[in-house]
């Protein structure tokens, strides 16, 4: 989940295998405890779903992409994550509410898939989360499971990690800066600033805002905030002083918030929030001006040429030309980006790193236990991968170069409509055949059983018995061993009967 909300930290630690959270009498219950309990429950459900179902659609009320290109709303599982595309009737691809500004679905050579991920919803996005009896107080937030039906070139199917990763793999480290403030030579009464007083307690966030192609070059946009990107308001209802600080601003709306993740459907640039160094509303048709969010700063990078295009931090321009210890100093090379923020140094791996818009890293900063120079995320030798967002994919179908929907294989067909445990039939169970001539290529138990209806003597092997004395075998055999009449490399009852009826004479 994206979680740009007023939280103190993310305390979930999957590697420690915690499975529950318990209160103690007289102890404080924090937001982190409550949120970790939800994270544990969600992970348990997902792991159970992965072990039992993995990916597919239930036979009843399941999501479906039909041969006529209509989408049937319903339930879908991807990597064990259950989600639902809401709706009561078949819909067109273009009618999806949760996938705004979508490019048209081509007539041929495409793979259609579902992208499933969790989006954070606050009272800013949904006013029903506020209760007028509490004078409109903002309380808990929600997460919304997004189901977006997307498409990509058929050459990218099936959806695999290198074409559509579940999240990026770039690594970020964050270190508290060592800031030396000298005395003012013009004022002998001034004192050096104690850096410890400037650390504070906050949750620092770095996020991938966008990655796009322009003029054959790849550009990356990063943004960061000591408030976890949670200072956000309606543009027409901002608090006093919000628009007059040294921070940067992101103007956005509900549609731009739905555009996290990759869109592999061509070179058309996905619409995202508009970043600005000043509180200046973007102009032009369709620009996002409903809400505004505050950031410490942002940077636009030309990854192809390894250049800083522009950037700012707390009102201070970023530049590669400052002194190394200066606020706003940037170094960028093919392997790493380093930015001196006001309080922290941000280091991001570049090179072959994959960035997915919506990737984010968070680190709690606590003045009681951290000092200048300490790493609050990662170490001096390496950073950490993103906390999220986690995307889950499932292929729904393909349209070939003639514009025809490609029929599903037996294996995919069974996954696209799996039954309940109380209604499993033979056709729902996969089958690996050991005798192709007998089972005729059967891929499920039902077709294998049907093949047995055509069983004949040619499918039954026979090993001649060892006989002594005079026997029917010794009288009828004309050559050692029964002949392989049909020359298929094995002797069967059919060969025996054929030899007796067709080859033996008086």
Task: Answer yes or no: are the C-beta atoms of 375 and 359 closer than 8 Å.
Answer: no
> Which residues constitute the domain of residue 95?
53-165+390-422
Q: What is the pLDDT of residues 207-233, one digit of tens each?
A: 999 999 999 999 999 999 999 999 999
Which residues sit opposite 224 in a β-bridge?
Answer: 206, 297
- Residue 470: which pLDDT band, with cuts at 50, 70 and 90? low
Q: What percent of the chain has pLDDT over 90?
A: 72
Question: Contact 115/150 with Cβ under 8 angstroms?
Answer: yes
Q: How confident is the model at residue 183 (pLDDT cuts 50, 70, 90)?
A: very low
User: Is residue 320 within 8 Å of residue 308, measured between CB atoms?
Assistant: yes
pLDDT of amino acid 264: 78
pLDDT at residue number 160:
66
pLDDT band for position 473 (50/70/90)?
Answer: low
pLDDT at 85 over 50: yes
Same domain, 344 and 470: no
Question: How far is the C-alpha of 67 from the C-alpha of 65, rounded, in Å?
Answer: 7
pLDDT confidence of residue 382: 95
Residue 23 in domain: no
Q: Are residues 394 and 383 in the same domain?
A: no
Per-residue pLDDT at 193: 46
Whether 96 and 74 share a structural domain: yes
Does one domain contain both 354 and 371?
yes
At 239 the pLDDT is: 94
- Indicate whether 244 and 376 sit together in one domain: yes
Task: Kindly report, residue by residue over 440-464, the tens digit of the pLDDT.
Answer: 889 999 999 999 888 888 777 777 6
Q: Per-residue pLDDT tens for 267-296?
A: 668 899 999 999 999 998 889 999 999 999
Whether residue 250 is found in the same domain as residue 349? yes
Boundary of a domain, candidates 399, 422, 445: 422
More confident of the two residues 466 and 252: 252
Q: How many domains does the chain have?
A: 4
Determine, yes or no, domain membership for 281: yes
With pLDDT > 70 as the criterion, what percentage of the chain qualifies?
89
432 and 383 assigned to the same domain: no
| 339-353 tens-digit pLDDT | 999 999 999 999 999
Among residues 1, 23, 4, which one has the least CA distance to residue 250? Answer: 4
Residue that is written with structure tokens 């929030």 in the block: 273
Residues 310 and 299: their CA atoms lie apart, in Å, by: 6
Check: CB of residue 387 under 8 Å from CB of residue 394: no
Tokens of 29: 């219950």
Q: Are strands 81-85 and 74-78 parallel, antiparallel or unpaired?
A: antiparallel
Mean pLDDT of 418-424: 92
Other beta carbons within 10 angstroms of residue 1's beta carbon come to 24
pLDDT at residue 187 above 70? Answer: no
| pLDDT value, residue 253 | 96
Q: What are phi and psi of 125, to 5 degrees?
A: -85, -30
Per-residue pLDDT for 324 more than 70?
Answer: yes
Q: Is residue 302 part of a domain?
A: yes
**Same domain for 394 and 251:** no
CA distance linking residue 77 with residue 53, whole number of Å: 7
- pLDDT category at 492 given cuts 50, 70, 90 is confident
Contact indicator for 148, 102 with CB cutoff of 8 Å: no
- Note the pLDDT of residue 480: 57
- For residue 247, which of 300, 207, 295, 200 has the smallest C-alpha distance? 295
Structure tokens at 302: 């030309």
DSSP strand pairing (330-332 vs 307-313) = unpaired
Q: Which residue has the tokens 């009828």?
A: 476
The predicted model gives 165-193 an average pLDDT of 70
Q: Which two structure tokens, joined as six digits, stand for 52?
A: 């039992």
Q: What is the pLDDT of residue 440?
A: 87
Residue 12 within a domain:
no
The answer to whether residues 123 and 176 belong to one domain is no
108 or 265, greater pLDDT = 108
Task: Give the model's confidence band at 244: pLDDT under 50 very low, under 70 low, under 90 confident, else very high.
Answer: confident
Three-class secondary structure assignment of 394-455: EEEEEECCCCCECCCCHHHHHHHCECCHHHCCHHHCECCCCCHHHHCCCCEHHHHHHHHCCC
- Same domain, yes or no, for 149 and 173? no
Average pLDDT, integer, range 21-48 = 95
Residues 97 and 235 in one domain: no
The answer to whether residue 248 sits within a structural domain is: yes
- Is 36 part of a structural domain of the chain? no
Are 96 and 146 in contact, with CB atoms under 8 Å apart?
no
Q: Are residues 416 and 434 in the same domain?
A: no
Is 255 part of any domain?
yes
- Confidence class for position 484, pLDDT limits 50, 70, 90: confident
| Residue 37 pLDDT grade (very low, low, confident, very high; cuts 50, 70, 90) | very high
Strands (DSSP E) found in 215-321: 217-225, 232-234, 248-252, 274-276, 291-295, 297-302, 307-313, 316-317
Q: How many CB atoms lie within 10 A of CB 121?
A: 17
Q: Provide the mean pLDDT of the chain.
A: 89
Torsional sign, CA 74, 78, 82, 84: negative
Q: What pLDDT shows up at residue 503?
A: 59
Residue 477 lies in a domain: yes
Q: Is the pTM of this model over 0.75?
A: yes
Say how many C-beta atoms besides its own lie within 10 A of residue 166's C-beta: 18
């Amino acid at each position: 989940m994206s979680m740009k909300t007023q939280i103190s930290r993310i305390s979930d630690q999957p590697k420690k295998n915690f499975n529950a959270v318990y209160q103690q009498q007289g102890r404080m219950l924090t937001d982190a405890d409550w949120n970790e309990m939800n994270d544990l429950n969600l992970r348990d459900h997902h792991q159970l779903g992965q072990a039992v179902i993995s990916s597919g659609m239930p036979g009843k009320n399941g999501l479906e992409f039909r041969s006529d290109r209509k989408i049937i709303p319903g339930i879908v599982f991807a990597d064990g994550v259950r989600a639902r595309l809401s709706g009561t009737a078949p819909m067109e691809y273009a009618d999806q509410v949760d996938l705004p500004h979508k490019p048209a679905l081509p007539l041929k050579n495409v793979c259609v898939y579902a992208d499933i991920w969790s989006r954070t919803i606050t009272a800013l996005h949904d006013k029903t989360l506020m209760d007028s009896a509490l004078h409109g107080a903002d309380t808990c937030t929600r997460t919304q499971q997004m189901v977006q039906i997307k498409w990509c070139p058929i050459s990218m199917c099936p959806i695999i990690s290198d074409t559509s990763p579940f999240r990026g793999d770039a690594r970020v480290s964050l270190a508290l800066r060592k800031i030396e403030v000298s005395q003012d030579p013009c004022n002998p009464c001034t004192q050096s600033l104690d850096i410890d007083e400037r650390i504070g307690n906050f949750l620092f966030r770095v996020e991938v805002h966008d990655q796009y192609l322009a003029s054959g070059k790849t550009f990356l946009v990063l943004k960061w905030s000591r408030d976890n990107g949670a200072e956000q308001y309606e543009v027409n209802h901002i608090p006093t002083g919000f628009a007059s600080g040294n921070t940067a601003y992101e103007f956005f709306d509900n549609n731009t918030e739905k555009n996290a993740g990759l869109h592999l459907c061509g070179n058309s640039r996905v619409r995202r929030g508009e970043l600005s160094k000043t509180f200046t509303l973007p102009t032009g048709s369709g620009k996002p001006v409903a809400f505004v969010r505050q950031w410490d700063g942002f940077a636009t990078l030309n990854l192809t040429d390894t250049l800083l295009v522009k950037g700012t931090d707390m009102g201070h321009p970023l530049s590669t030309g400052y002194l190394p210890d200066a606020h706003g100093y940037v170094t960028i090379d093919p392997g790493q980006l380093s930015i001196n923020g006001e309080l922290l140094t941000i280091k991001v791996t570049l090179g072959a790193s994959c960035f997915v818009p919506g990737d984010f890293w968070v680190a709690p900063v606590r003045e009681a236990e951290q000092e200048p120079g300490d790493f609050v995320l990662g170490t001096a030798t390496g950073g950490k991968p993103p906390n999220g967002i986690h995307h889950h994919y499932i292929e729904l179908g393909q349209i070939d170069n003639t514009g025809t929907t490609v029929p599903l294989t037996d294996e995919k067909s069974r996954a696209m409509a799996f039954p309940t445990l109380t209604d499993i039939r033979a056709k729902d169970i996969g089958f690996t055949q050991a005798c192709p001539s007998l089972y005729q290529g059967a891929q499920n138990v039902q077709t294998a059983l049907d093949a047995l209806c055509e069983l004949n003597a040619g499918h039954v092997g026979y090993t001649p018995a060892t006989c002594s004395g005079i026997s029917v075998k010794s009288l009828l055999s004309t050559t050692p061993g029964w002949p392989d009449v049909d020359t298929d490399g094995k002797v069967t009852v059919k060969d025996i009967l054929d030899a007796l009826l067709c080859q033996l004479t008086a």
